[in-house]
Structure formats: structure tokens, C-alpha cells
Amino acid sequence: MVADREGGARRTPGRAVTYAVCGAVLLGGCASMPDSGDLRNVESTPRQDTGVRVFAVPPAENASANEIMQGFLEALTSDDPHYDTARKYLTVQAARAWRPERSATVLADGPGIMAETPPTGREPNTGRTYVLAGSRVATVDEQQAYAPAQGDYRAKVHLAQDAKSGQWRIDAPPEGVVMGKSDFQRNYTSVDKYYFASHTRVGTTSDPVAVADPVFVRSKVDPMTQLVRSLLSGPTHWLEPVVRSSFPTGTALKNGTTGLTPDDENRLTVPLNAGAARVGPARCTEMATQLLFTLRNLAPTLESVELRGPGGDRLCELSESRADTVAWRASAQSPDNLYFLDGKHRLVRLPATGAATGATTVPGVLGTGARQFRSVAVARDEHAAAGVSADGRSLYVAPLAATAPLEPPVLTSQGPGEETRLTRPAWDARGDLWVADLNPARTRLYVVPQGTGKPVTVTLPDLPGPVRDVRVAADGARVALVVEGEGGKQSLLIGRIEGGDDMGDGSGDTPAEPPALVDPRPAAPDMELVTAMSWAGDSRLVVVGREQGGVHQMRYVQVDGSTLEGPAPAALSRVKAIAAAEDERVPLVACSEDGIVRLPSGAQWQKVDKDGTAPVYPG
């Protein structure tokens, strides 16, 4: 199967390439293959221009069992919306029972195929069995949620020959669909759908906080309608315990709705069923906000969303500009300043954007250099900051105000050495402060309500080893951990935070339901050593580390462990720390052998301060 760029064609052995009138590319289903023994891999399609559509070819008359097998696997990688052509390679009964939408298995390469030798004495007309084999990379479940996978993949596929027509068809297909990594990247795209954090609100009006839930949709099969259906069906299983949706249970698109697309004025009308018929204005506005945040992944110029009931009546309409006043979303918040420690151990700042390199000290005790710190974190409203002392023992919090004295530490570690004490701290959108104590005798993760309350211990699951770094997501629903395992390997895990919504200001007793870190999962499964990381979007992080047998590199990763498309940041040697904002327009900042350096969009790394350390954006 080869899908070539429009305006040209090339032929790969064993592949049939045909152009439809509209310029679409057809998949060949009649590759020449041996009748027994080893069969070659189903070749993965090279990456394509977004305008190219790939369609499958139905089975040819009197096609051999080998050709049926090859054609079916190629049809799985097509842009056929309901896999109707793939079903033509199945028996009638198998076609009815097969559910390709239930799962997708992604292999490192296209699946290898082997014809299984029939046992001695078996009648030749009992059918043919093939074995699909490969190395697992990931799976995508029925919720379109991605999960990294490892190990060998083996699945048997059985074909039968119709007694009357003599045509070969598959009567036992593999579960779901299976394809190579490059075909998966061509067929699917990662998008964030948005829900609201169950335990986090911000501001004096207690606005809900948006949480991104990444899923994969088929990029050329009515993706906007797919994404709306996915949003309405609810959050993925992993995220569901910590988020809520404003759509009433049972809400779905009106029957027969397809082809959702904005009109000429970038307005989208979404017809809903009776499940949403009785929602009030406030709830409908939240529903429209979820849709706007979600759909701008696919349509960045989308201006407004209108929701309609089953009878066509308008429920509500929301503009893109107003959506950001309804709910708080990290990627929509642009920091005013970048912060770091200068050569005199003072906390300094300079504008987050622009070319300025002259940093100024912050007001208050953290800007005086009276006490030395090794790491800092600035609250998201930029009104307060936290600092870990140079020996790693004490965590201090102080307002960024000229007359504020340095209060006693809010937390102290009893770790025996500097590397077994407190990690760098981090703030969430609610104003709570997070930090880990690496004391091997009592490793703990703490949250300090509002940065000044009584520290609350977060319940931890069994982890592969001690925590080396922690960065809480702005939404307060997820936390990124660097965990040390066997042999000094350091992996990046993402866990969700459950409970803890009754902590208040932390001045009272331990809450009835202390927060708990639950179900950590890998976010960079192919990296064996993660040395620095930072949140860099609603669902992505930037990490510095090394793959097995590789060299140090810097790249972006998704919270679900999937590989992000697009270029990695420009190479930088000896990175000690990395800082990013959720607003992707704000430059990356790092601490390297050259001090503090900055990476503006489309440029190379630029020096900011040769003596600076510990760069951070608010958060």
C-alpha cells in the first residue's frame, strides 16, 4: 500500500496504486504472495500530505487466501469511515460480529504474516490459518484512549473457502484493527477534549478549571463529528474519577448527525438529542465551553458554538472570547514574567516575552539574597513565591511584597543529605503548593493548602523507587513524577490526584479524605533516564533525558505516553533544568552550561544570564 502525494505516483512491489477522479489514492488488495511458509510484512504507508485520502480496494474475484489476507490488512489502514471494504474480506457472519472500533493495536512495523502449516492429515478444504506477528507499541481502546504497550503481538486469523462459490473469506478476524506505527500516525491524530476538575476551582467566583483529556481520532474520517461524540460520551476511564462533564447523562448528537463543520463565519451549530433539552442557561454555557475548548484543537479559527435541542430550538450560544471567562484553562493563561535565581542567590524576574535580558530583583525578602535557595516556585497569580533552602532542608513561602518578612519554614525535611531532602516546589491553580520529601526513611509527597496552611500528606501508591522530581499540573488533577528505579534509571510517570477537596486553608486538622496519587502511568516509556521536565501545555510536557543506548535529548511528550508530531526543541548540551509555560507561545527556558538560556519561537537558544540558575515560570 502506497499513498503518494497528489500529482505523482510511485509503485512499490506487491502494492496496487490507483487514483480516483477526485485524486484519492486506492489501496491494492491483490499483492502476489506465496501459498505457504513465511510471508512478508504488510508495508507501512509513508507519511502523507493532509489532503490525500486513502481508500481500500475490495477483494478480486477468485482471489487466493493469501491475497484476501493481504488485502484485508491493507484495508484496515484506509480512510473507509466504517471499514465497509474491509468487511468484504470477511464472511457474512464474521462481518456482522466484527467490531473494529473497539480497539487498535499499533506495532513498530506493519504486521508480519505467516501461513500456519496445517497438521498432517487435515483435509485441504478446512480453511487456512495465518499468524500475525509484530512488536507492540501501543493500543487505542474503545474510548479512543492511547496506552503505550510492549512485548510481542501474535494473533491467529482463519480463512474459509465457500463450498459453492469457491471464494476465500476470513471467518475469524483479529480483534479490532492492527497496523504499523507509520500507518497509525497517518490515520490518527491526537486531540484534547475538555472536562472540568472535580476538586479545583479558582478566583473569587470559583470558576471551574478545564482539564485536557487526550484521545486519538481518525484524522480524515469526519474528525469533528468524531470528537464531539467522544466528548459527549464522557471522559476516558483513567481521568473520569477526577473530572466532571456539564453534559447531562445520555446527551448525544441528534440521530443522523454527520459532517459537523463551521460555517463561513466560523460558527458551528451542534444539534443534540433530548438528553440536553432541559438544561438551564448556566449549565448550557459550560457545555458550550467544553465544546469550544475541545473543537479548537481541530478548528483553531472557530469563533462560536451554538447548541440546539432535538426540535431545532436554540439552547445557547457562546463565543470563543467569552469561553475563557466561563472556565479557567492553563494554556490560555500567559505569564507576565520569567523567574530565576541570579548569581547572588536573589530571586529575579524579567518579562516572559520579548528580547529583554536585564532581570530585576523581586520585591520582598526573596529578592534580597539574605537567604540562599536552590529552587523556587512562583504562584500562578505571581503574588507569592516558595523557595527550598540551599541545603534542601526547609521550604519557605513569602509574598512578593517589599515589606514582607521571611516567616518560619512551612515544611522541614530530616533527610540525611542534600539530595535526600526536598524537591523543587510547584503551585496549582487553586493556590496550593506541592513538594516531595525524599528522606529515604520517610519519603512523602505534601500539599500545603494556599501555600501557608498545615502540610497535608498525599497518599502514594507503590512506586518503582524514590521520587526525584514532582510537578503538579495547573488543574490540580494530575501530577508528573520522576521516579528512580533499578540501576539508576529515572522514568516519568503521570498520576491523578483524587480527594482532598475539603482541605480548606489547611489551618485545621487533616481532611477527612486526604488527597491520594492514584494509578501512575508512563508518559515517556522509551526514555530510561529523565533528568528534567516541565509542563508545557494542557496535556504535554517537555522532558530532558536519554533513550536506551541513546544520547541526551530534549523533546515533548503527551501525558498518555504517545509521541507528539512536530519538531523537538533545538539541541542544547548539559541541561540542568527546564522551564516551560502551558501557553505554548511563551519561550522555553533552560539552565545549561551557559547559564540561563531562552528559546524564542523559530530561533536558536539565546543567553539570558550566565550566572543564573533554577528558571521557572509561574506554577
Q: Residue by residue, what is the 3-state secondary structure of 582-598?
A: CCCCCCEEEEECCEEEE
pLDDT digits (tens, 9 = 90+) for 150-180: 999 999 999 999 999 999 999 999 999 999 9
Nearest CA to 199 among 413, 497, 561? 497
What count of other Cβ atoms lies within 10 Å of the Cβ of residue 57?
19
Q: What is the model's pLDDT at position 16?
A: 35
CA distances from 250 to 42, 108, 246, 431 (A): 41, 38, 12, 35
Return the bridge partners of 322, or none. Answer: none
Calculate the CA 236 to chain-centre distance. 12
Residue that is written with C-alpha cell 445520555 in the block: 250
> What CATH number has the domain spanning 331-616?
2.120.10.30
Residues of the chain with pLDDT under 70: 1-52, 117-125, 501-512
**Residue 426's pLDDT is what?**
96
Instruction: Report whether 104 contacts 139 (CB < 8 A).
Output: yes
pLDDT for res 267:
97
Q: Which residues are bridge partners to 377 per DSSP?
A: 386
List the domain boundaries for the chain.
Answer: 17-185, 188-330, 331-616
On whether the CB atoms of residues 78 and 85 are closer than 8 A, the answer is yes
Residue 113 Ramachandran class (φ > 0 left, ψ -120 to 50 alpha, else beta): beta
pLDDT digits (tens, 9 = 90+) for 485-534: 888 899 999 999 998 766 655 455 555 678 999 999 999 999 999 999 99
pLDDT at 469: 93
Question: CB of 425 within 8 A of CB of 411?
Answer: no
The single-letter DSSP state of residue 422 is: B
User: What is the residue whose three cell numbers read 475538555?
Assistant: 194
The per-residue pLDDT for 51 is 56
Residue 420 cell numbers, joined: 535526600
Look up the pTM and report it: 0.88
If we measure between CA atoms, which residue out of 484, 455, 457 comes closest to residue 469?
484
Q: How far apart, in whole angstroms, are the C-alpha atoms of residue 86 and residue 95?
A: 9
Nearest to 377 by CA among 358, 393, 398: 398
CA atoms within 13 A on the CB side of 538: 23
